[in-house]
Structure 1
Amino acid sequence: MNTIQLDSFAKINLSLDVLEEREDGYHNIDTIMQLIDLKDVIEIECIDQNECIIECNKQNIPLDHTNLVHKAWEALKKYTGIQQGIKVHIQKNIPVAAGLAGGSSNAAAVIKGLNEILGLNLSKEEMMEIGIGIGADVPYFFMGKTARATGVGNIFEEISPLKTEGVLIVNNGREISSKEVYEDIETSEKSKIGKVVSAIENQDLNALRESAYNTMEKVVFEKYPKIHDIKNRLLSLGADVVLMSGSGATVFAITNTLEKRNEIYEELKEDYPIVFKAKTI
């Protein structure tokens, strides 16, 4: 076997708190990460040349060494010593620089795919170790579970999944650099994520609405008030939980019923370039 195709799912942050800055320049965080069924499709083919060729259906995706797919290939070569060239086609559906970790998910898919087709027999822990050198969100995608992430996002505690089909993804097309958000962030002294975990474990949307938060919203909403407008509009339309995911610009809504989710979708689908129905997985 020299080709493989994998689904590369997006994530949302059911809450996100940014804590103290570390000596290495990164910040400690406390967040809850949840997979949703919005996905890219990654096709990997082994080739004779010792290079990584990237193709994509979208024009705004870099196809060079700056793409996390390329970084994943380089990191895997360094870790294992393999000298195997690949051609990767990305069927891109996840919005870029949107707080959904599409690039990180793609990188993890490449590592998982090559681990399988080359018979590398890397453990989940080894793949996570490779992933952390590529990007803070990459290790999460080797879990495939709902998880609370601490440290720089590399220490995981599996929690009960939030089971809902009533998810709506809204994005106005603005690409946001997480680095810029971190530069202006006001850090928290103490995380309150524990209350969010309890709400999720009890499948209690009312408690989740009261407890869920994202400390990055303040910075992003001040810089990009139209993203704040999306959140306010979703709330005014009756969504139960509304939050910006990651560093934005995606705002997600969770509704108690599919009927309400679909009603909001119909209201917004012509007003924003990216509006997706989704469910948690």
Structure 2
Amino acid sequence: MESVKLRARAKINLGLDVVGRRENGYHDVRMIMQTVGIYDRLIVTKIPENEVRIRTNLGFLPVNENNLIYKAFKLMQEKYNLEGGIDVDLKKFIPVSAGMAGGSTDAASTLFAINKLFNLKLGMKQLMELGVNLGADVPYCILRGTALAEGIGEELTSLKPMPNCHIVIAKPPISVSTKLVYEKLDSDEVEIVHPDIDGIIEGLNKGDLYEVASKMGNVLEQVTIPMYPVIDTIKQDMLECGAINAMMSGSGPTVFGLFEDEERALACQAFLREKKDARHVYITDVFNIVK
């Protein structure tokens, strides 16, 4: 049977600001998104049965209608009257519930696969318009690279690529409720300090890694770190290990640090693994789209 093999890549936020709240509860954001080298691997096979079969290496993940892969197929099946179904072999390497768009990027790759397997001939813009029905990060996971995300995250503008560097990624053994983080942000308990999103864009335009790093900021840290101080502990450890800068990605709890020197990045990884504040510690790099 016809199959496609895909790498569903993770993202980090170089900057994340919340600029408003809509009546429907969604938040208006300004974010700088960046694809990184860590990825999940999907093998998607077209099958004659009207089913969505999902196998994964993580037993706690849902493989039914609660999985975004399942929802992606059903969305396209209903819209384009697809006959048959798909079998998906999913190998998860992106940490789960980490603020790295693991579920969203799997959904985005599934849309790519269905488009090819069923010969729908949809363009990227059409796939992105479909993707927003699955989640605010899905359109970006289709676009990938370096981008400014506005609106609820679906209004995307490609930016100059992130300068190459080594990225240490560490996820502590906790899960953060994105809903709870935004609810606390909306309360009067938090005095919001907005990051310099335009400053990050200026650094990208110059191709200056140090300027990008110096302007990095995530407004949600002001909510998540007081709830989970280990996030700040990991940040400080990365900085002491020589990171140019370190920050929480998304609503957390994952922390990433940017390193120009590979030896320092490796030493930081070894230190964090030995200290065991983080369950997962990876070294990866920037993944930029060749245009």
Quote the residue 2:284 is aligned against. 278
Question: Which one is further off, 166-175 or 103-112?
Answer: 166-175
Quote the residue 2:135 is aligned against. 135
Quote the residue 1:159 is aligned against. 159
Quote the residue 2:206 is aligned against. 202
- SS of equivalent residue, structure 1 residue 64: coil
Question: Which one is further off, 79-88 or 138-147?
Answer: 79-88
1:260-281 Cα deviation digits (max 9, x unpaired):
1112112112323200010001
Quote the residue 1:233 is aligned against. 237
* CA–CA separation in structure 1 for the residues paired with 2:194 and 2:273: 38
Question: Does residue 1:50 correspond to 2:50, yes or no?
Answer: yes
Contact 1:18–1:28 (CA<8 Å) still a contact in 2? yes
Question: Which one is further off, 164-173 or 130-139?
Answer: 164-173
**Residues 134 and 249 from structure 1, CA distance in 2 versus in 1: closer, same or farther, beyond 3 angstroms?**
same
**Residues 101 and 30 from structure 1, CA distance in 2 versus in 1: closer, same or farther, beyond 3 angstroms?**
same
Q: Which amino acid aligns with 1:92?
A: K
Quote the residue 1:29 is aligned against. 29
Q: Report the CA distance between 1:84 and its aligned residue.
A: 2.6
**Residues 241 and 203 from structure 1, CA distance in 2 versus in 1: closer, same or farther, beyond 3 angstroms?**
farther
* CA–CA separation in structure 1 for the residues paired with 2:195 and 2:167: 25
Question: Does residue 1:145 correspond to 2:151, yes or no?
Answer: no
Quote the residue 1:118 is aligned against. 118
Q: Report the CA distance between 1:191 and its aligned residue.
A: 6.4
* Count of equivalent residues: 281
* CA–CA separation in structure 2 for the residues paired with 1:145 and 1:193: 17
* CA–CA separation in structure 1 for the residues paired with 2:184 and 2:78: 34
Quote the residue 2:247 is aligned against. 243
RMSD between superposed Cα atoms in Å = 1.6
Quote the residue 2:180 is aligned against. 180
Q: Which amino acid aligns with 2:75?
A: A
Contact 2:11–2:35 (CA<8 Å) still a contact in 1? yes
Q: Report the CA distance between 1:229 and its aligned residue.
A: 1.1
* CA–CA separation in structure 2 for the residues paired with 1:48 and 1:208: 49
Q: Report the CA distance between 1:14 and its aligned residue.
A: 0.5
Question: Which one is further off, 38-47 or 177-186?
Answer: 177-186
* CA–CA separation in structure 2 for the residues paired with 1:65 and 1:227: 32
Q: Report the CA distance between 1:177 and its aligned residue.
A: 2.1
1:14-68 Cα deviation digits (max 9, x unpaired):
1100111012210000001111010000111122221211110112211111111
Quote the residue 2:6 is aligned against. 6
* CA–CA separation in structure 2 for the residues paired with 1:275 and 1:76: 36
- SS of equivalent residue, structure 1 residue 136: coil
Q: Which amino acid aligns with 2:242?
A: G
Identity %: 33
TM-score (norm 1): 0.95
Alignment of 1:261-276 (within 5 A): 261-270=265-274, 271=276, 272-276=278-282
